[in-house]
Amino acid sequence: MKRSSTLIQPLLKSSSRNNNKFFSQQFSCYSTIKSKAVRYEKFGNPQEVLKVEDVEINSSIKDDEVIVKMLAAPINQADINTVQGTYGRVPKTFPAIPGNEGVGIVEEVGSKVSGVKKGDHVIPSQGGLGTWRTHLVCKGDAVTTVSKDLPIEYASILSVNPCTAYRLLSDFAELKPGDVIIQNGANSMVGLLVIQLAKLKGVQTINLIRSRPNYELAVQKLKDFGADIVMDYSFANSNAKMSRLLSDLPKPKLGLNCVGGDAARLVTKYLGEDGVLVTYGGMSRQPITVPTGPFIFNNISLKGFWMTRWVETHTKEERDKMLNELSTLMKDKKLLALMETFKFSEFNYALEKSSEEFRDRKVVLKMTE
């Protein structure tokens, strides 16, 4: 089964002229658009409840609506949890279409829509749009324009993981060059982006990962992205080893937790005075464990972060500023991501690959293939 892996190479520009011509003819002759979508009728195991189905879309849009032809969309853990019914925001009606982020091209624009025009590349303004489909109709303000110069894969992942990494480093501690942060799950997409953004700020990173096959290769990969120190959890459990390793470094101001359980305890354990532990995920599905001594005597604070809530409580201008900064870094190849692309027709295989243990590449669906 054919698939492709992507690190930083921009996509070859696909020829959309013929597709657009076909779409225009179809739009002018028929009242519906034939599309495909991943849908589910109930919460459950994604492998069992998700089905790729033919869906007809009404092409007679309202004045405040747009038609978007989707180009690419990632499979995120949040999408999987949504289908399972365990995420912070889940559908209230069925059938539902998963996919909280992605990128598409605007095909048609209602007469009262402003800020978006035909041919623009757009991403969702908020989660829950349902991006795992070839076409969608939505309100004009439900999408936000992004640069056409941004490679499609990068545009498809822009609104969640990169924005989360950006906010984690911006909102919880006043970080200056020479400061130190510590994180678990460092080989996750957010972890890799945190490493790179911290490096650009002159901030040093201590990175905890699980022991695994080809561990040394995994360590080297993180260091290639800019990680200063990488270790597994058993090493971090040794007070003597950690004391020697960290003796020349300032105590971390900020700890980032996406795992929970004992992995959260290890991050908190090494925070400095008035340090902050921010939890933005719970991959172990275990409660956060905090060591009593540092929590009391070092005045440690515990915070939570959810990108969805941040978007809902901040202005469009604040989000656009962040998106523009991240897009520029990506276009300049100063912010890289590991991705593997799959044709939309390979959805079931892509879904299976996305859940592989020790996976280090984000799965991205290419809707036009």
Question: Contact at 8 Å (CB) between 32 and 7?
Answer: no
Instruction: Tell me how far CA of residue 228 lies from CA of 170, 204, 206, 243, in angstroms.
Output: 20, 6, 6, 16
> Measured in Å, how far apart are the chain's first and last C-alpha atoms?
13
Residue 40 is given by DSSP the state B
User: Which position among 30, 40, 87, 349 bears the catalytic label?
Assistant: 87
Question: Contact at 8 Å (CB) between 79 and 156?
Answer: no
Residue of 344, 343, 339, 338 whose CA lies nearest to 2: 343
Question: Contact at 8 Å (CB) between 100 and 79?
Answer: yes
- 340 Cβ neighbours under 8 A, 6+ residues apart: 3, 4, 5, 6, 353, 361, 362, 363, 364
- 317 Cβ neighbours under 8 A, 6+ residues apart: none
- The answer to whether 154 is a known catalytic residue is no
248 CB neighbour count, 10 Å cutoff: 6
Helices and strands of the chain, counted as H and E runs: 14, 18
Burial grade of 57 (CB within 10 A; 0-12, 13-18, 19 or more): middle
Catalytic residue numbers?
Answer: 87
